[in-house]
Every structure is written in C-alpha cells, then in structure tokens.
Amino acid sequence: MVQNNHSEDQAKVDKATSISLSSGIHTHAVHTSWALITEQSTYALGVTNEGYILNLHWGPRLLTLDDLPVPLLPPDRSSQDLLANAREEYPGAGGLHYGETAAKVLFADGVRDLDLRYQRFEVEEADACDGLPVLTLFLRDTVYPLLVTLRYQVDTVNDLIIRSATFTNEGSDTIRLERVFSAVWHLPSQYTPRILTTLAGQWSEETRIQRRPITAGTALVESRRGITSLQAAPWFAIEPEHNPFTPAGQHEVYFGALAWSGNWAIRVTGDVNGTTVIAGGISDHDFVWQLGADESFATPDFIAGFAFDGLNGARQRLHRYTRKIVLPQPQAHQPRPVLYNSWEATFFDVHESGQVALAERAARLGVELFVVDDGWFAGRNNDRAGLGDWYADPHKFPQGLGPLVKHVNALGMQFGLWVEPEMVNPDSNLYRAHPDWVYFFPTRPRSLARNQLVLNLGREDVRTYLFETLNRLITQHAIAFLKWDMNRPISEPGWSEYLESGGEAREIWVRHARGVYTLMDALRAHHQDLTIESCSSGGGRADLGILRRTDQVWASDNTHPEARLLIQEGFSLELPARVMESWVTDAGRGEIPLAFRFHVAMLGALGIGGNLLHWSAEELDEAAGWIAAYKTIRPIIQEGDQCWLLSPHATGGALAAVQYTTDDQDEAVVFAFQRSRVFGEPLLPLRLQNLQANARYSIENVTVSLKLNEAKNSAVGPAQSLSGAALMARGLTLPLEHRHAYASCLLKIRRLLP
C-alpha cells in the first residue's frame, strides 16, 4: 500500500512520467494528482495549493501523466464565485460554494459551514472486498474534528470508477450530517448539447426510458419512499445530442448507478458554460444523521463509467461489473434455474392439492424451482390479513408445508416461498402483540397502503424477531429460494422511543434500508445455498445495493409480452439478464403466439407463471420444447454480453431485437420481435455486433417441434454460414413472416471451426 506522497514508500509513484500508463492507479511524482486508468478511460484528479481536490479529466484514456493539467483553481472572473467552476470532487456546503455540493453538516456550536481540505492519500492494489485497486483520499475540516475519506475503487476492465465517502467524528461533540452524497462527477465542458437518459415508471410500468436535453438548471431523479421505487431507477446515462458534425462512430456515454435501496437522489446540473455535473447518493430529503464521538457514517457506492461505444457499451460494462463484483458468490456463476411461480395461477387461493397439481405439471415441463407465492401463511385469504404471521395456514396446509415441499423435491424441483418480512397487517397476531413495532407518529393515523403497515427495521427487536422467524422457516423446510417482497412505501416515518432517548428519528430512512441489508446478510450467512429474489410490487427494489445480497429481481408485475419488451429494454440499461426474472403467463394467451411469449421471457431468467392446469396438451408440449431450448442457450443469455440491436423504445414497440454474445465471441443468440408491419413494408437486414470479423458463423433458426416436444434448429435463408464481417456490416435477413402480427424468432449463431 502506498501511504502518501511524502512517505518513504514511493514504489508506486511514477517517476518517469512520460511512460505510457498501464491500467491501474498512478500517482504524479511532482503534483499531488492521480490518474485512474482503465482499459478505455482515464479519471484524473489532483489537489490545489489551497487543498481543494479537483477533477482534472474524465473521458478517453490519456497516455502519460504529463498529459494531466496542473491542479489549479480557475481564474475568478466575477470576483464572487471563486469555486463555481472549480470542478471540485467533493465540495462541502459553505464558504463560496454556490454550485452543487456533496455534503452539508451542522456542528454542535451552530456553525453550518463545511470546509474540507486534503490531508493525505493511500493506494491499495486490491481491496479486501472486491479485489479492485482503490485510491483513498483523506480530508479534514479546517477547524472541526471531522475526517472525510473519499474512496475511488477502479474497475479497470469495465471502465468504471466506484466512489463513496465516509464521515468520522474525531471529536466529542455530536455533528449533524444533513447531506452526505456518495460522489460529485464532472463531465468535460463542451459546446454541443447533451442528452440525459433516465428510467421512470409506476406499478406495472417500470423502467420506461426517458430522454431530455441537459440545459442550465437541475434535473432531479429520486425516491422519497424508503425504497428504490417503481417511479425512478437510480441510474443515468448522458450522451451527446445527435449532431451531424460529430465524427462518425463517436458515441461517448457517461453513465452511472447508485448501490442503494432506500431514499436516493441523482441531480444532473447544467449551466450556460456547457458544464454538466452529477451529484448523488442517499437523498437529503428528510435526512439527518447524528454522528456521535468516534462514530463513522459510510455512504453507499455510486458507480459511474465512460463508454465510447454508446448505450450498449455502457450497459455491457455495468452488467459485467454486476455479475463479477456485485452479485453474491458463488451463485453468481451458477445458472439461474427455470422457475414456476403460482401467483397468477391461484392468487390467494393457495392450498396443498392445488399446488401439488401445478407442481406436477411444472416438473413435466422441465421446471427446476417451484415457488409458492402469496397466500400460504396464517389467515391469508386476501390482502387484508396475515402479514407478519409467517407460518403455514392450518386450513390450507393441515400438516404444514412439509408434505408439499417433499412432493416438490421428489419431483426433482427445489422449493421456494414468497415472504414480505418488512410488513404487517393490522389484522395479524404480530400486530396485535406489537402495535409499536411499525413506523408511526402518535398523533397521526397510521396510513394503510394495501391494508398494511411497515415494520421499523431500525429496531433491533424487530430484526431479531424477523431473523428467527425466517431462519426457522428456511431450516424447517429446506427452502432454496425466497421471493422477498415489499409492497408499500414508508409513511409517518416516526420512532417515538428513539426520539425520547435522544435519537434523531429522521435516521429511519437509512436505518430501514440498512436493516433490510443486515437481515438478508445474516440469513445468507446461515444458509449458504439460499437464493433471494428482490421484489417490491414488481421492480420497486432493483438496484446494485440490494443485488449484493439478492440473486435476481422481479422486474414487473406486468407480464404482457408487449409491455414487457419496453420494460425489459429499460431494465437492461441498468441490470443484467441473469437477474431479470421473467415469466410466461396467461397474459396475451389466445392473442399472442406462445413462441413470442416465450421469446420475450427468455431474454432474462426464464420462469413460468401461467395456470398450467388450463394449458392444452399442445401448449404444454410447446412450452417444454422452449424450456429445453432455453436451457441450451442459458449460459449465453445469463453470462453473455447483451446488445439491443433494435430498440422497442425507438420503434414504438413495433420491432425489437436483442443479441447475447459469449465472451470469446464464438457463440451468440439473437431474438427478434415484430408486433406488426401494417403496410407490409419490407423487413430490413439486421446488423449484428460483437462478432469476430474474420470468423465464419453458422446461423440456425430455433423452432419447437410440437410432436417431438423439443427444440429443432434449421439453417436460416439460403446461406448456411456468413462471416462475422458480413453479419455486422450487411446484416441478416430475419425469418419473420410478412405482415404476421406477433412474429418472433430465436437464432443461434455459432462460430465454425476453420
């Protein structure tokens, strides 16, 4: 570890600054500055004589440390705004900081002015948690005993910088933290306008792509609901506006995502000088944290990156990072099983014989994991009662869950269960025993949403109760999988007892999210093989924070294939295919061919959610064929690079095409969808990506033969094979029937041996 640039260990300090830089963290020999070099980008920062840390560059890779500018404050043009254009890495609120700030605090004597200056740095070659190089900068307030450390983790392969900050109170008086963002990012200023892309939605309509120009002012995306939220996803991308004078092929994208599942905010600010600044982290809405003597507060990670190859390049970088670094190991590299979920088939009408009948059909289709959704626990006949009482309903399961679990296991499937641990219905034994365990203000009614209240996971007794209850359930029934739901936002965020004991009740937003993390971490530590799906009325808790302890996400309650394509395209900008659970249900049945419905669900981790007792023998046969086909290409989908070749967002949902490619580019699969070609217009060739130009590839159209109940491959078109160059430059004619509504295809592309 390099301690600082005045220490004896100067091994990693680049003396010969003109040497072409390798990937990693480089320290300038003369100036206090650093270059974080990734395969395709450089992020550089340095310290001014006054002790301010400035961003010096973020974008295409620089070759030598000589390329870095000297860290200097810009000339003061207006004599009132010294720091406005200073590109500070972590500006504190106070002094002449009128622009975006990263942190705001209140000291015990009433001073509300934070003045952070650089002290020293450390470089680690590989950190203990993720094995990535890390630069840590130490800053202190000029007067008060407040230490702030800024962490820069570098994913050199994926061109990502992962930033966070930690506040430590080194004195004896409590310091009130009022904003503690994870990072402030500065894009290079430019003359031409930029476009901001974000993801917004609502129940049944998550991750819809939103695009708007960045102008002077701030665009704010955030959640104030105590969860990541259905309404906005903590992700952004910024691209140049299409401009005919931009060099062809240049498509630089800055993008980022927050690893946090509570209230969050991402603020994108432009000004009249063409600057773009992004600030984000835990939302400062209704946020205060009391930092006592010797206590520390660590922010979540804010991951951001630079891609020269457009939104597909950005999505692939985030996906690779998520698969390699974020997702729990070793599950992250095991195939996600094909699951069956009973929700849409039975809703609350869950009972042993019905579930057994579904399980038998599911097993015959090739399903590997059978999940009983809501409705299995005590008193749960509708959504008005039962939440909190996590034991099998004695009327529905007279001998408990045991016989059903045994039956499912005997059919060769694992068993999974739906739970909603953070919730309680007033009509439950748990609430009757502990009405004080929820968030509430004593003088206000407790607002119900879906007839339920939120348990205060800041309380240790609540967490202990939930751990013991869930631990017992998992142990008793060898439960392999939990669908962990969270169906309402937090309201009346009060905690009287904490307040009375001198605590700050506004901490609950953070304490709740941390409470969920702690609980999940403890359960996983006790049950190494357990996998968890994160659900919040669909995709309301899908982020890189929850994915450190969950294996997949339920992306939306909307399972209609047309809606799903749009939702999934947005989802895929942030999160990879292997975490996106996607079911074939009865939505669209009778209207949309089963093949189309399967192809849409196969874009992620395939599941079945329809009522199999109503499916005809032909439907069941075809479904078995598609499941078998999925299993053969599952590694390419779940581990490969994803590319949206035709964006349904851009075509208004009429056409879509997605390609997945293995790391070595030897194999790919392409899914294409056509809702309709109302004018009978010709289908244009589809240009693929990510192949080896010189290699030859076979192209097979995967279809399912109903008789044989298995997948069949046939060559596409007259050409048996094409070169990678031809597939990428000229493209492929898709085997989609002329004028056919809801036509789709699945193509297997395989490199032929020379």
Is residue 581 a contact residue for ligand GLA (CB under 6 A)? no
- Judged on CB neighbours under 10 Å (0-12, 13-18, 19+), 383 is middle
Is residue 571 a contact residue for ligand GLA (CB under 6 A)? no
Give Cβ neighbours of residue 638 (< 8 Å, ≥ 6 apart).
Answer: 335, 336, 577, 578, 605
As measured in angstroms, the least distance from the Cβ of 567 to ligand GLA is 13
Draw the binding track, 286-305, toward ligand GLA (x: CB under 6 A; -: no contact).
--------------------
Q: Is 557 a catalytic residue?
A: yes
Rank residues 239 and 374 by Cβ distance to ligand GLA and give the closer one. 374
Query: Which residue's entry shows tokens 């939702």?
Result: 567
Is residue 586 a contact residue for ligand GLA (CB under 6 A)? no
As measured in angstroms, the least distance from the Cβ of 554 to ligand GLA is 6
Member of 100, 206, 301, 485 binding ligand GLA (CB under 6 A): 485
Is residue 115 a contact residue for ligand GLA (CB under 6 A)? no
Is residue 666 a contact residue for ligand GLA (CB under 6 A)? no
Window contacting ligand GLA (CB under 6 A); options: 357-365, 533-541, 591-599, 745-753: 533-541
Main-chain dihedrals φ then ψ at residue 410, nearest 5 degrees: -65, -25
As measured in angstroms, the least distance from the Cβ of 221 to ligand GLA is 22
As measured in angstroms, the least distance from the Cβ of 637 to ligand GLA is 22
Q: Half-sphere exposure of residue 608, counting CA atoms within 13 Å on the CB side?
A: 28
Is residue 374 a contact residue for ligand GLA (CB under 6 A)? yes
Member of 260, 343, 397, 439 binding ligand GLA (CB under 6 A): 343
- Please, are residues 91 and 81 in contact by the beta-carbon 8 Å criterion? no
Q: Is 383 a catalytic residue?
A: no
Is residue 535 a contact residue for ligand GLA (CB under 6 A)? yes
Q: Which residue is nearest to ligand GLA, using beta carbons?
A: 374
- Please, are residues 140 and 117 in contact by the beta-carbon 8 Å criterion? yes
DSSP per-residue letters across 517-556: HHHHHHHHHH-TT-EEEE-BTTBTT-STTGGGT-SEEE--
Q: How far is residue 743's CA from residue 704's CA, in Å, rounded to a whole number?
A: 14
Q: How far is residue 527's CA from residue 479's CA, in Å, rounded to a whole number?
A: 9
Count other Cβ atoms within 10 Å, centred on residue 323: 18
Q: How far is residue 745's CA from residue 84's CA, in Å, rounded to a whole number?
A: 54
Which of 171, 122, 165 is CA-nearest to residue 146? 171
Member of 301, 373, 389, 562 binding ligand GLA (CB under 6 A): 373
Amino acid in the structure at residue 466? L
Window contacting ligand GLA (CB under 6 A); options: 153-161, 179-187, 495-503, 531-539: 531-539
Q: Which of 14, 383, 436, 557 is catalytic?
A: 557
Q: How many residues bind ligand GLA (CB under 6 A)?
A: 11
The tokens describing 181, both together, are 């963002």
Is residue 487 a contact residue for ligand GLA (CB under 6 A)? yes
Is residue 105 a contact residue for ligand GLA (CB under 6 A)? no
Is residue 533 a contact residue for ligand GLA (CB under 6 A)? no
Member of 537, 550, 582, 665 binding ligand GLA (CB under 6 A): 537
Which of 569, 615, 563, 578 is CA-nearest to residue 594? 615
Q: How far is residue 10's CA from residue 23's CA, in Å, rounded to a whole number?
A: 18
Query: Which residue's entry shows tokens 């030859």?
Result: 696
Query: Which residue's entry shows tokens 């983790």?
Result: 153
Is residue 557 a contact residue for ligand GLA (CB under 6 A)? yes
Member of 201, 538, 545, 625 binding ligand GLA (CB under 6 A): 538
As measured in angstroms, the least distance from the Cβ of 493 to ligand GLA is 22
Q: How far is residue 583's CA from residue 561's CA, in Å, rounded to a whole number?
A: 9
As measured in angstroms, the least distance from the Cβ of 347 to ligand GLA is 8
As measured in angstroms, the least distance from the Cβ of 186 to ligand GLA is 39
Is residue 389 a contact residue for ligand GLA (CB under 6 A)? no
Rank residues 557 and 700 by Cβ distance to ligand GLA and give the closer one. 557
CA angle 414–417–419, rounded 5-degree value: 155
Three-state secondary-structure class, residue 5: coil
Rank residues 150 and 372 by Cβ distance to ligand GLA and give the closer one. 372
Rank residues 23 and 342 by Cβ distance to ligand GLA and give the closer one. 342
Which of 481, 503, 612, 605 is CA-nearest to residue 554? 605
Q: Half-sphere exposure of residue 591, counting CA atoms within 13 Å on the CB side?
A: 8
Window contacting ligand GLA (CB under 6 A); options: 243-251, 394-402, 535-543, 619-627: 535-543
Window contacting ligand GLA (CB under 6 A); options: 55-63, 66-74, 451-459, 534-542: 534-542
Q: Which of 485, 543, 551, 621 is catalytic?
A: 485
DSSP code, position 188: P
Draw the binding track, 418-437, toward ligand GLA (x: CB under 6 A; -: no contact).
x-------------------
| Alpha carbon distances (Å) from 305 to 137, 249, 717 | 20, 19, 40
The length of the chain, given as a count of residues: 754
Rank residues 373 and 667 by Cβ distance to ligand GLA and give the closer one. 373
Amino acid in the structure at residue 54? L
Site residues for ligand GLA per CB under 6 A: 343, 373-374, 418, 485, 487, 535, 537-538, 554, 557
Catalytic residue ranges = 485, 557
